[in-house]
A and B are shown apart, each in its own frame.
Chain A
Amino acid sequence: MTTRIVELRQGILKKNDELARGLRNQFEAAGVLVLNLVSSPGTGKTEFLQRTLLELINSGAKAAALVGDLETDNDARRLAASGAPVRQINTHGICHLEAEMISKHLDGWNLVDLDYLFIENVGNLVCPSSYDLGERIRVALLSVTEGEDKPLKYPTLYNSADVAVVTKIDIAEAVGFDRATALRNITEIRPGIRIFETSAKTGAGMAEWLAYLAESRSAR
């Protein structure tokens, strides 16, 4: 019997990464801007996305969304109220979305007809950061109720984000949100990241966010 060392040098998530690369090529070819929204549960991803979809559709853009949750289609129903095509992905216990789930749920959608596709990930600040979904922009959301040190507690996710969105700023004062510290913590983990401060309720900051979306779409 001989002992042998076999070099593998192989990514453990190779399958997901390859699938994500395929999706990215597909999205680019179709000219659709794809964003992956990640945050903890309760940050207000759905509310923020609902407002984003509504404003995009009102401005004549074509936007769709895939929304991930462990169970229920509540979020899909909320988002569909915007008039956008929406599909729910139930992961049944899995704590994140994977490229394969995205791929499966695109069936029957003609990507060429879309300007924007939003993927609302499962509320979780840990696992989604490892799974590439083929998105061009990863958005990390932080609500004013969560504590300014969240970026420091979850550096993996914040460091992998392309942009950050602060939500619920309409209640910032009531909850004693320390804006300067929060923004500094985000930048400490991801130097140079662009940060949007928004309220889906009042519409504050939405114009800047929508302008950024339009800009990113045309800057292909």
Chain B
Amino acid sequence: MLKTAKSHCGRILKLVRKYTGIDFLIKKFKHLPNKYKRMIYGFIFILPWLIGLIYISIPILFRSIRMAFSDKYYYIIDVGWRITGKWYDFTQFKRIFMDEPFHVTRIIETFQDILIVVPLVVIFALILALLLNQKLKGIGIFRTIFFIPVILLSGNMLMNFERNSLLTVPAIASGTISNFMTDYFPQVFNEVILGAFGKIVLILWLSGVQILIFLAGLQKMDKSLYEAARIDGASMWELFWKITLPALIPLIYINVIYTTIIYANLSNNAIVQIINVHSDEAGILAGTLTDEINYGRAYSAALSWILFLIELVVIGFYSFVVRLSSRKYD
């Protein structure tokens, strides 16, 4: 009984293969030259990603653009998504910059914040990587501690810290050093340095992966180069500026980009907070018309494009700075 059923199934499958053309394709494929076969195999392996690109990534990108340049973007049950407004009206951008002075200040704050934090994170990461690269006893323990943020870092965690003023160690933020600084140093200088003190935990917590990247670079460095330089009488200071730093410059670019993207996307920055609040309150999931009366998807999409522009400006600016200051090595 089972046997006959099996053979029936097999026969049906054979027929299906014959008449749907699969047999033909397989035959053709077997006769292809090896080169083309491998091409097709390659495409088969990356097929999941290709499908994802066509069905998910690209539509998301286009929707995001279309949303930001629309008046309203809403969902009607049984009908689907509706867009109103012409793209060249720039409705949402006008709203942000003309009707919402509060949001504009938040945008500027975010911009300043990212502009200050990014270089500090990269510099701290470099210093910490240099420290961890020393061959000393017990360095493994410090490594374990330094990389804890790699797993714990999330926007909510940082927001949690921020709300409970755990972003700085009290003794650092308001101690002798800061008093001394405010007394003897110029205002602009102080703002940056004391700002860094006020966020020291944030800066260190953000620098986990960057330290790893720098460390990997440091450990790949050619040891014989150092020996040669030392024989020629170079001091440790000179070794750092003349050999270590030039070799790390490509990694500095990577870290600037990484830090900017990660920091700008953490939910503790002002723009993301606005977006989060609106996506919660506007009830994205509910998707009713009334959401759009307040701030809706279109408004949030426009805000996120502004954040993206800020990121590009910051990355561009610091890449330019690194390039300028590293020109003497070429």
A is bound by B: no
Q: Which residues of A are in contact with B by a Cβ distance under 8 Å?
A: none
Q: Which residues of B are in contact with A by a Cβ distance under 8 Å?
A: none
